[in-house]
Chain A
Amino acid sequence: MNWNEKIRKATTHISQNEVLIFERSSKGKKAYMLPPLDVPEVDAGKLLGDQAREDLGHMPEVSEIEIIRHYTRLSTWNYAVDHGMYPLGSCTMKYNARVNEVAARLPGLAEAHPYQPERVSQGALLIMKLLSEQLLEITGMDAITLQPAAGAHGELTGILMVRACLESQGAPRKKILIPDSAHGTNPATAAMAGYTVENLRSNAAGMVDIPSLQAQVNEDVAALMLTNPNTLGVFEQEIHKIAEILHAKGALLYMDGANMNALVGKVRPGDFGADVMHLNLHKTFSTPHGGGGPGSGPVACKKILEPFLPAPLIVTKPDGSLGFDYNRPQSIGRVRMFYGNFGMHVRALAYIMANGPDGLRQTTEDAVLNANYIRKGLEDAYELPYKTPTMHEVVFSDHRQLHKGIKTGDVAKRLIDYGFHPYTVSFPLVVPGAMMIEPTESESKASLDLFVEAMNEIAREVDENPEFVLEAPHNTRVSRLDETSAARKPILRWKPPGEAGKP
């Protein structure tokens, strides 16, 4: 039997082989030409003395056509949202609109120097101001900084603000409570902010266990870091109670906004008791993930935390022009040089503008509809450990496949053969063998149907030919890679033949 005959979404095709760029290098090849120097030439040896550099070692020497072919070939080895569904749970791999890219690359914006005078930067400042205002309306918060460079960086900013606020009231306190379903960045952030981490149990519905919370919150607790909807895709129904329990003891509620794509236009964290939160512009607001970055993690907060926001903030001056306010005596200080990932601010604003209020609400509804459609389509074949209603993502487990020796990671690898990027594997940790699926709003019914069909087909393969699934992927350029030896004897850079292996 041909185990690939059921694959409808993808077909293998020729892809080009390509070496490392250094292996294309040959002395004397060039891909650049500088214009003639319009000032006198200088003698570097004379100007720099013993600080002058002799040579640049093994930096490549190649021509322009080779560079284009090299990176184009490499690009074809990637799977991308532009190819199809990318259902990584918690990552919100949605469509990245092209107009966002055009806007961010307009010369006036792309070439603006961060220290150019404010009066010739009004356009850039207006973009940041409008984005700030619109994010505040979307979150229901009072004040915001766009400075943090990514989600985890936003977490650090928010928790440092909590710390500064509590310090201003007397003591910073000692602990941050974090549910067992949280992203790893949450506890790592708490540690960086000088707090100890205390784990918070989930209940059978996958939500914060209120009696445990009640018992754990005391005067040592600075804040609870809560993702809502949580990483099971479940909305914390007792969110207001959670906020009340914290507030009653003087603790604050930090909301990890990673899953904001389930809420925009439907409910606002500021309305349900969150004191401070970050947003991932690269998730909810469609700025591209770029193969791992850049992100952007604005932090929005309630009035009580506003004095502690990083400096500078954008303000309207008495003459009506926009500028930066550096005079913020209670601020936690800077978390990044300049003003944040401005290029991402441009893209996020372009996204909000393209949607408007109706579009944003419809986007959220479609994201939730898609996740529920997948849930319905897969619940016969895969174990659904939490039956609580699903928002924008759904978490299954490999429980029914385990007896055949097949784990979530194996199903994921077989999914690659079917032309899909896998879901998020083995996360959240509260679900052993988790398969965390977030389709986003960007998938059509036809593409969801193909995904459901592929997953169900794989479940059948697990029953009939588990070995074949264990060996997946079968149709990729490289088969499963040896990650163990990569970590045991790390090779982290290329060396010319003859030098490899030497320190």
Chain B
Amino acid sequence: MRYLPKSDSEREGMLRDIGAKSIDDLFAGIPAEYRLKRDLNIPRAYAESEIVQFFRQRAAESAQGYATFLGAGAYSHYRPVVIDSLVSRGEFFTAYTPYQPEIAQGTLQSIFEFQTMICELTGMDVANASMYDGSTGSAEALMMASRITGRNKSVIATSVHPEYREVITTYARYQGMPVKTVGYLKNGRVDLEALDKAVDNETAGVLIQSPNFFGTIEDVAAVGEIAHKKGALLIVSIAEAVSLGIVKPPAAADIVSMEAQSFGVPLGFGGPYCGVIATREKFVRQMPGRLVGETRDRNGKRGFVLTLSTREQHIRREKATSNICTNQGLVALMCCIFMTVYGREGLKELASHNLAKANYAAEEFKRAGARLLFEGAPRFNEFVIQTRSDPYAINDSLLRQRIIGGFPLKKFYPESGNASLWCCTETTSKTSIDAAAKEVAL
């Protein structure tokens, strides 16, 4: 076996040194009746060349090279090549959690930079070292709001990503956290009147997403006012991180729960992605997940360590803020490098290209005869159209042109008829948009 650095004679020699007659001696602790007396029924070992060939075939069967109009929580952005060049360094990807800071300063400093950039972009004071993803991050943010306020109810907009809401339902069920939902208006924004009625003096957190699942940018300040006057916290989920380049950060939020996949993380059929929670300084001790802090060594030299770990499961066990153990280390590093490549000017320019493409597409689709929904509130790079034909039929004919059409909303919103959600990023070409416009007309 090519990954095992031992010859049979070395194995025999080691067994002799230990004083074992055979390798079976070392497994004597396992009662004989349970020991597997046959080979595992899995395929024979493959050569490296065969493995590459196998996965190339699977890749070819996975819409390789198709253009896409799908967003809906996972976004197709260009990934600068320096990202993979750097994260492929074994020093990064074959290292463990930086529990021994003297030999993990690389990981620690890069997380500190990640935390800083997330703070700059979201306007929050502190950000953690990342969460599994945006969906679990939102659930953890609600639990955090519950710990801070000492209350247990949540109010969630139905315009939050439906799969996020499903995850929250799973998490909340056994936390004794009742969840109320509030619908959306004709402009796609959360129904503020209904929200005002839903939030009461027992509400711990109000969760909205902005831009929301329909691509609409919420009036975060107005939602914040409603939450805050009842003493509830406002949690804003951001699923399309690139929007932060051009959309105002959610200043009224108490907690921001982000999915940073857009920052240089491959779509990868849904994961791994990179959730992150950011918040106000005063709430930091109720935050879940790892945090990196700056400190000094014995000689006064600047260095970084994991800190405030008394919140975490390995110290607090059942009293921890969460059971989370890992963060998304390497994925957070991808995000960090992406944010560095684009930086202060580039993120803005990138976001403006997204805005322009989506605006062009929305206008062209409208001109072609589709009805644009949720007008009257600003959008970023996603929009919803209503078509005469079933969106699945539209997508079928686009698929024949190697184009993946928009997301049919009826999967999650049965009331939405033939509505579909379309996303354009900087990678969407005018040619694809024009081709799609022809199909949505039908």
Contacts and interface: CB of A to CB of B under 8 A. Distances in A.
B397 interface: no
Nearest to A102: B52
A267 B40 contact: no
A152 B63 contact: no
Interface stretch (A120-128, A208-216, A299-307): A120-128
B3 A42 contact: no
B188 interface: no
From B17, B88, B267, residue with most partner A Cβ within 10 Å? B267
Interface in A90-128: 91, 93, 95-97, 99, 101-117, 120-124, 126-127
Contact of B307 (A56, A184, A487): A487
Given A67-B82, A115-B407, A191-B319, A107 B64 contact: yes
B107 interface: yes
Interface in B111-170: 112-113, 115-117, 119-121, 125-127, 129-130, 132-136, 161, 163-164, 166-167, 169-170
A243 B307 CA distance: 39
B333 interface: yes
Interface string A231-273: 0001101011000000000000000000000001111100110
Interface residues of B, number: 198
A21 B113 contact: yes
Given A124-B269, A292-B98, A337-B163, A108 B61 contact: yes
Given A188-B323, A338-B271, A289 B40 contact: no
A40 B359 CA distance: 9
A313 interface: no
Interface residues of A, number: 198
18 contacts: A31-B346, A47-B378, A52-B247, A52-B248, A56-B121, A58-B116, A76-B106, A78-B106, A99-B48, A115-B72, A127-B55, A192-B174, A193-B174, A292-B327, A337-B164, A425-B99, A479-B298, A487-B309
A30 B60 contact: no
A166 interface: no
Contact of B317 (A160, A184, A239): A184
B95 A78 contact: yes
Contact of A96 (B11, B93, B121, B332): B93
Interface in A336-350: 336-344, 346, 350
Nearest to A207: B29
Given A60-B344, A122-B62, A344-B271, 8 more contacts: A34-B353, A78-B98, A79-B91, A108-B65, A265-B40, A288-B330, A337-B167, A492-B112
Given A356-B46, A481-B305, A491 B92 contact: no
Given A291-B330, A294-B330, A388-B29, A373 B55 contact: no
A405 interface: no
Nearest to B338: A32
A358 B333 CA distance: 36
A441 B3 CA distance: 9
Contact of B318 (A116, A121, A191, A442): A191
A362 interface: yes
Contact of B109 (A20, A126, A445): A20
B5 interface: yes
A188 B322 contact: yes
Contact of B91 (A75, A294, A341): A75
B6 interface: yes
B117 A113 contact: no
Interface stretch (B197-205, B223-231, B426-434): B426-434
Nearest to B243: A53
A67 B29 contact: no
Nearest to A58: B120
B241 interface: no
A153 B40 contact: no
Interface string B289-328: 0111111111101011101111011111111101111111
